Chains A and B, each alone.
Chain A
Amino acid sequence: MKINGPFVEKVLTTFIKEELAKFNYKKAILGLSGGLDSSVCSYLAVKALGSKNVIALIMPYKNTFHEDATDAQEIAARLKIQWKIVDISLMVDAYFSKYPTQNKIIIGNKMARERMSILYDFSARKKALILGSSNKTELLLGYGTIHGDMACAINPLGDLYKTQIRQLGQHLGLPKKILKKQPTAGLWAGQTDEGELGLTYAEADKILYMLVDQRSSKKEVIKSGFKKEKIDKIISLIKNSEFKRKMPPIPKISARTIGLDFLYPYDWDK
C-alpha cells in the first residue's frame, strides 16, 4: 500500500490541471474542513493551479468544530488561497426549528447537504470547479453523505486509501497537527470515524486493499490475520453503499436508455 509521493502528486496535479482545462475552468473551489483529506486536496490544487486559482470555503456549524475551523484557516493562510467562512448555523437551525429531530445522523446529513448546496452556489458565482475530497476508504464503506460531502465535479483523492492520503500528506509537507488528526466525518462533536466504524483505518485499509485491489477471498483475508467479524462488517458496508457510488437505475423502456446503452465518456468532446 506504499505510494510514491512525487509520482502520485504528479498524477493528481496533472489530472486537476487537465480536467479544469477540458471544462474551461481556471479556478477550483473546495470545502475545507481542517481535516486531512480536504487539506491534502487544497495542497494539490495549489500545486496544480497556483494559489490565486484556489478558493476554500470553511463552513462551520456554530462552535462544534471550532478547532478544525481554525486549522482550516491556518491551512488557507499558509497556502495563500482565497478563503471564506460561511456559517451554516442559520440555515440548519431554521430548518430543524420547523422539523425537529434528535437523530444525529439526520442532522449530520442535513449539514453535509447544506455545505454542498453552498459549495455549488459559490461554484457558479466564482466560476470555479468543485474538487471533492472523498477517499477510497470512505467511498467503499459508504462513509459519506450522498449528495452531501460526496458531491463534486472531480474527485482527485478517490483512488487513495486514508492511510495513503496520510503518506501523500507527509510528502506534501502538511503540518504535523493535521497529519495526526483523528479522522472525523464531522457529523457531530466528539465523533470519530474509527470509533463509529469499530475499526481503525489501518485495519480497514488493509482489509479493503486485500478484498478490492488484490481481489482476495474472505478466507485469504482471514488467513492473513484479520477477525472474521471485521471482514464481514466491511463486506456488508461495501454492499450496502453501492447505491452511493452509482447513478440511480432507470427502468428500461426504449431501445436506448441512459446509463445502459446510451454510453458516452465523461470527457465527451473535451
Chain B
Amino acid sequence: MKIAIVQISPFLGDIKKNFELHLEYTEKAKKKKADLVIFPELSLTGYTLKDIVEEVALIPEKDRYFKELKTLSREISIIFGFVEEKENGLFFNSAAFLSKGKVIHIHRKVFLPTYGMFEEGKFFAQGKNFKTFDTPFGKTGMMICRDFLSYGACYLLFAGDSEIIIIISAAPGRGVTGKEAYETSRMWELMGEAISRFSTAFVIYCNRVGFEDGKAFAGGSYIYNPWGKLSAKASYLDKDFLFQEIDLDEIRRARKRWSFKRDDKPEIILEALKRIVREYED
C-alpha cells in the first residue's frame, strides 16, 4: 500500500483556495500511484477559525467541493478535514475518508481541546464515537489531533479491531528544550511509537505546518509500523509531501510475534470501567 501524507499550510477561512490545494496534491499523489492521500485536520478551512466556523461549514451530502472530492476518490482514497454541519446549527471538527467514489466514514472529533491557547469547545460540537470501519486496505480507525492523546480512545480503536490508525492533526508546537524541535513534537512521536507497538497496528499521523495568529504548527508527520518502528517522517515546520509504501502483511507478522491483540480482555475492561464510573462520588 502506498501512502501520501500531505503536510501543508491551509489558507485560513478560504475553502476555495484550500480545495485547489487538495486537487493539486491529490493529483501529485495519483501520479506517484499512491492508494491513499491524507490531508491534515481542518485542511479545507484552516484551524484558528473561531467565529468563522459557521461560514465554512459543509453538509457533505449537499456540498459541491465534497462531491468533487468524492468523484476524485474513485481513483485514489482521500482523507481530509473539514467543518461539518451535521445537524442544523451544530458544527463538528470532522475527518472524512473517501474511497471508490463514496464517503466510507466520517469521524467527528471527540476531544476538543479547550484550555490555554485552545478554544475548540467554544466553537465546535463534540463527536461521540471512535469507530473502526472497513476500507480497501483493512480495518481502519480515524482520530483528530487531541483524540490521539487519549489512550482510552486509542484502546477503543484497538478493541474495535483497527489495524490502521490514522490521525489528522493541526498541532501547534510549544516548549523549547535546546533541541532542534518543539518539545511537543516528541510527545506525538512517543504516542505514535507506543500505540503502534502495543496495538500491533500501523499509526499514520498527518500534521500541518504554517502559522496562524502566531501559533506555529509543528509538522513532523510520520508512519510507525506495527512493531513500533518509525517507517517515515516528514520535516518539522516545513511543508512536505511524505510518500511511503507500507507492507500490510507486517500487521499479521507483528501479531503472530506479539499477542497483545489475541490476549486483550475488553469484557473485563468494560466491567471494570462501569464499576469505576458507577462509583464516582457526587
Contacts and interface: CB of A to CB of B under 8 A. Distances in A.
Q: Do A and B bind each other?
A: yes
Given A4-B178, A265-B13, 20 more contacts: A2-B176, A3-B178, A4-B177, A7-B176, A7-B180, A8-B176, A15-B214, A18-B9, A263-B122, A264-B50, A264-B51, A264-B52, A265-B49, A265-B212, A267-B12, A267-B48, A267-B213, A268-B12, A269-B12, A270-B11
Contacts of A10: 237
Nearest to B216: A11
A249 interface: no
A220 B176 CA distance: 21
Contacts of A263: 50-51, 122
Interface in A232-270: 262-270
Given A11-B237, A14-B237, A4 B52 contact: no
Contacts of A2: 176-178
Given A10-B237, A19-B211, A265 B50 contact: yes
A190 interface: no
A268 B52 contact: yes
Contacts of B180: 4, 6-7
Given A6-B180, A7-B181, A269 B13 contact: yes
Chain B interface residue count: which class? 20 to 34
A19 B14 CA distance: 16
A269 B178 contact: no
Given A4-B180, A268-B12, A14 B216 contact: yes
A11 B173 CA distance: 10
B176 A270 contact: no
B141 interface: no
Contacts of A7: 176, 179-181
Nearest to A154: B214
Nearest to A14: B237
A19 B213 CA distance: 9
A265 B52 contact: yes
7 contacts: A2-B176, A14-B211, A15-B216, A18-B9, A265-B52, A267-B212, A270-B12
Interface string B142-186: 000000000000000000000000000000010011111100000
B175 to A, nearest CB: 8
A6 B181 CA distance: 10
Interface in B117-135: 122
Contacts of B48: 265, 267
A22 B212 CA distance: 10
Contacts of A15: 211, 214, 216
